[in-house]
Amino acid sequence: QGRVTAVTIVEESRAYLDAARALAEEDGTSERHAFVPGDFVSVAPGVGPADLVTLHRVVCCYPDYAALLDAVGA
């Protein structure tokens, strides 16, 4: 209890997704990660529920921030 047991990373940039995968492999946690390529609004229906969602430099730059926030809250 009290530790992260699963992480899902949704990222449109393949380079960023590959970097995240490499970091997870480096620290030995890759088996707890799911790496989902794509735009979150598009792939959200296939991503399970989450206890925590982070959006680093996303909301301000996303073309339809309302749709993004709706998808995150669904």
Mean pLDDT of 15-38: 97
- Give the 3-state DSSP-derived string for 9-42, with helices as H, strands as E and coil as C: EEECCHHHHHHHHHHHHHCCCHHHEEEEECCHHH
Q: What is the pTM of this model?
A: 0.86
**Residue (of 24, 68, 71, 65) closest to 50 by Cα position:** 71
The residue ranking higher by pLDDT, 2 or 39, is 39
* C-alpha to C-alpha distance for 74 and 70, rounded to whole angstroms: 6
pLDDT tens-digit series, residues 2-24: 688 999 999 999 999 999 999 99
Could you write out the DSSP letters of every residue in 44-66? GGGS---S----TT-TTT-TTHH
